[in-house]
Structure 1
Amino acid sequence: MAPFRTIRRFGVLAAALGVGALLAPLGTAAAQDDAGPRPARDGVAWDPASLTQVYAPEPGFYSYAPSVVRDGDTEWIWSCHNDQSRVIEDHIYLTKRVDGVVTETRSVLHASPAPAWDSFHTCDPSVVAGRFHYGGTRYSYAMFYLGNDVDASAHNQVGVAFATDPAGPWVKYPEPIVTSDRVDQWGAGQPTAVSLAGDSGRVLLAYTRGDTSTRAYASVVDLTHVERLRVGPPVLLPTDGLTGADGAADYLNGFDLALDRTGRNVVVVREQHPYPIDNPWWIGPSVQVARLSLTDLLAGTGTWQPLGDIDHDLTGFTRNHNAGLVRTWRGRLADARGVEVVFTSSCSSLPTVDDPDWSQATCDSLYSYDLWSITGRFTRSR
């Protein structure tokens, strides 16, 4: 779920990365100011007191775009992460938490040797359980991910890797399963997947495509026998009902999806627009949780029901972006009565997109990316 401009060459931004201070823990203060659940008429009552830092990388490192599974007292969190201090070259890291304590964090998927399609960045993981037969082995887990082969925000494509254990190792399928031919356009990425048919290899895969416009698609993918994988025709996902941070109609990108416990509805957490004009202007200020019936999503019809926003007023952070839903291994919401969101925070400062004088910067924005969580309960309007 990396921002639409990710993966990117930072250009003039690189000059600012060494001048800022890391974000103060504003979220904690925000939570203490309001101890009770925030009433919501739109479907989720957020509990500010639940705001918790999930993972803070070491200085010089970033973590964002999490795929999160809760299994009992254990949380499995895969995220987009650099592997060398202050080097912007994305790996996929696994951060494992037990009883709320980080027990390990390490790279589990990285670029392939050139000239492979994913020879520069690997990012935007989405992990789901199923039954996947590949190369004579039956795998229990699939990881969909974004990869590219250039040091730029371009030529992104979607691939998949498999493992018998969620800790890895992960075995890549050698070719992308959602392709993009143009090397001068953003391409296809930000995948998110859920299991459709119990203990099988059929999954619903959704993703962002960016070329002449930004839009989202979903396909049914059958990975039961990977050598004979079938990717169904892409369905353009609707945007009716989605609202931006300004209250206006919005488009869909940078999202994670899950099925609710009934299996009849899809819940998404998605980046809101418009993007701010100050640093960092390539990520959204807030994310929105919304719901749509699975039938409508598969048909590319229907109207989303916004359920709640995660924004500065709720968290104290000026950027709340690149979020993931806490799910089960099959891609259903982990909490039957509500939703938990793991999102990325960031500081912000001058310069602005219209006046990029990096001498004004006090925010080392990329290296302030860390992971926080917040929970909410579903509500019903009277």
Structure 2
Amino acid sequence: MKKLFLVFSLLFTGLVLVACNNQTKIDFTTTIPTELTVGQSFTVVAKDSKDVDIASAKLSITVKTGDSLVTVSGLTITGVNPGTVTITITFSDKNTTKSKDFSFTVKAVPVTYGLPVPATGYYMKDADIIQEGTSRYLVYTTNSAAGEEDNVIALRKGTFSAGNGYSYGAENIVLAPSTSGWDQYISSPSIVKGNFTYNSTNYTYLMAYQGTDRANETSFSIGLAVSNNPEGSWVKVGSTPVVEYNRTVYGESYNGYYAPSLVNLNKQSLIRLFFTWADAYGHFAYFVDFDAANLSNIELSGFAMAPNNGNLSTGEDVTMIPNADFAYDAVNHMFYMVKDYSPTPSREPRVATRIELASIAEAELYSAVPGLGWSSLKLFDMFDTPDTQYERLYSATLISDEYGHLISNTLIEIVYTVSDLQADNVDYVFSQKLLSFIYE
């Protein structure tokens, strides 16, 4: 009887041991976000039952439902389209596997209305905006690398929503400086629509920009570029500027020809290019006219100085017109202008503290006999900015239609640049951003 009991005990023990070997268990834990925004990603990490990190080679992911809503790259999940997704995570160790399902929601990117804000370490300045139907094209100067002053020209498309305003899409770098030549440092773009030809190719958009080969960004000249898609690639016109500053004659330490502003006078190819001429005598507005129907052979008119009389505000004995942007009212035969106040303050950044909106009769631009001059419509200063926060207001633009014509003379939208002071922010260069006024 004792022998029989011993045999039974050994058999029972053996059966238990065999069962344990066949049922080796593994487990894991991981944390999956409950929500993911389109364009965002997360990477799966997991721990075993002893709270030890599991090697990534032992983990794998498959999409159980919602395959079109995400992409999977190794252990990284990226949101593509809004919806609910279920993934299966599998932990494999030796010949044993453990799988678990996890669900999360991919949300659409929230829409932000109003002017875009630059990311940390970036700036936005010297903007120009044209409105074409229910779209706006915002072109501006920014930097290509965070924390660096390496100017490029960028563009964003704005889409209108009733009751909300404009939301601007992703930033596209549309023009970069040349590695050699006259435009190794570029900024201050202006664009218009029309009918243009360059090297036997037809284009529908024209850009003017300032450039120089001097690292201290003086002695600017003005060049052109063309495109059929403002958000896409732009082709520089020629290898020399269209309006070239002669630093030997006028001095190399001055700004030269800067702040170009384009107007398509006949909405076809007749272009007026306004710019600021800055030399030892000050900053004054000039313009040239040319037919852009054949940009391979540009014939400029003579330089004409815009009048500087009237009741413009100034801090000099002679009224100056620095850093101005222009728009054309073809119905009433008027030109509108927004300009920086002069003089330049001594504290950094050395830019204007005020901007001024003014208008003038078109006929006065063509007459050598002084007329009434500019009529100042409003002078904007820091008390017009949100919470009177910004002392520096400068480099403004009038939002025009796609040809550089005024949209309305009773409601004018102005976009301008602001900056912190160096005394308040050592990284003031990267605080430059865009704000707007409405003049009614």
Fold in common (TM above 0.5): yes
Structure-1 separation of matches of 2:396 and 2:404: 15
2:115 counterpart SS class: strand
Structure-2 separation of matches of 1:74 and 1:247: 40
What is the CA-CA distance between 1:311 and the residue it aligns to?
A: 1.1
Counterpart of 2:379 in structure 1 is: 309
CA offset digits 1:214-272 (Å, max 9, x no partner): 22211112111112211100011211125336698630110100012515000000000
Counterpart of 1:93 in structure 2 is: 154
What is the CA-CA distance between 1:299 and the residue it aligns to?
A: 3.3
Alignment partner of 2:244 out of 179, 182, 195:
179
Structure-1 separation of matches of 2:434 and 2:279: 29
Relative contact order (C-alpha < 8 Å, sep 6+): which is higher?
Answer: 1
Structure-1 separation of matches of 2:383 and 2:315: 14
Structure 2: gaps (5+ residues)? 1-112, 161-165
- Please identify the structure whose Cα radius of gyration is greater: 2
TM-score, scaled relative to structure 1? 0.77
What is the CA-CA distance between 1:297 and the residue it aligns to?
A: 1.7
Alignment of 1:215 with 2:215, yes or no, is no
Alignment partner of 2:331 out of 258, 262, 272:
262
Equivalent pair of 1:243/1:272 in contact (CA under 8 Å): no
Structure-2 separation of matches of 1:248 and 1:373: 30
TM-score, scaled relative to structure 2? 0.67
Equivalent pair of 1:92/1:110 in contact (CA under 8 Å): yes
Identity %: 24
2:286 counterpart SS class: strand
Structure 1: gaps (5+ residues)? 1-51, 351-360, 378-382
TM-align CA RMSD: 2.0
Counterpart of 2:428 in structure 1 is: 365
Amino acid at match of 1:181: N
2:364 counterpart SS class: helix
Alignment partner of 1:237 out of 306, 318, 324:
306
What is the CA-CA distance between 1:184 and the residue it aligns to?
A: 4.2
1:343 counterpart SS class: strand
Alignment of 1:375 with 2:432, yes or no, is no
Alignment of 1:125 with 2:189, yes or no, is yes
Report matched runs for 1:61-80 at 5 Å. Answer: 61-80=122-141
Counterpart of 2:416 in structure 1 is: 343
What is the CA-CA distance between 1:59 and the residue it aligns to?
A: 1.1
Structure-2 separation of matches of 1:299 and 1:216: 15
Amino acid at match of 1:343: Y
Structure-1 separation of matches of 2:182 and 2:316: 39
What is the CA-CA distance between 1:212 and the residue it aligns to?
A: 1.8
Amino acid at match of 2:414: V
Amino acid at match of 1:307: L
Structure-2 separation of matches of 1:67 and 1:121: 18
Amino acid at match of 1:310: F
Equivalent pair of 1:66/1:324 in contact (CA under 8 Å): yes
Structure-2 separation of matches of 1:321 and 1:151: 22
What is the CA-CA distance between 1:103 and the residue it aligns to?
A: 1.1
CA offset digits 1:322-361 (Å, max 9, x no partner): 11110101111223422100111112253xxxxxxxxxx5
What is the CA-CA distance between 1:276 and the residue it aligns to?
A: 2.5
Equivalent pair of 1:53/1:373 in contact (CA under 8 Å): no
Counterpart of 1:83 in structure 2 is: 144
1:219/1:163 CA distance change after superposition, 3 Å: same
Structure-2 separation of matches of 1:312 and 1:257: 22
Structure-2 separation of matches of 1:349 and 1:226: 43
1:231 counterpart SS class: coil
Report matched runs for 1:1-382 at 5 Å. Answer: 54-99=115-160, 100-114=166-180, 116-118=181-183, 120-174=184-238, 175-182=240-247, 183-199=252-268, 201-213=269-281, 214-244=283-313, 250-260=319-329, 262=331, 264-280=333-349, 282-299=350-367, 301-302=370-371, 303-315=373-385, 316=388, 317-350=390-423, 362-377=425-440
Count residues with an aligned counterpart: 312
Equivalent pair of 1:242/1:250 in contact (CA under 8 Å): no
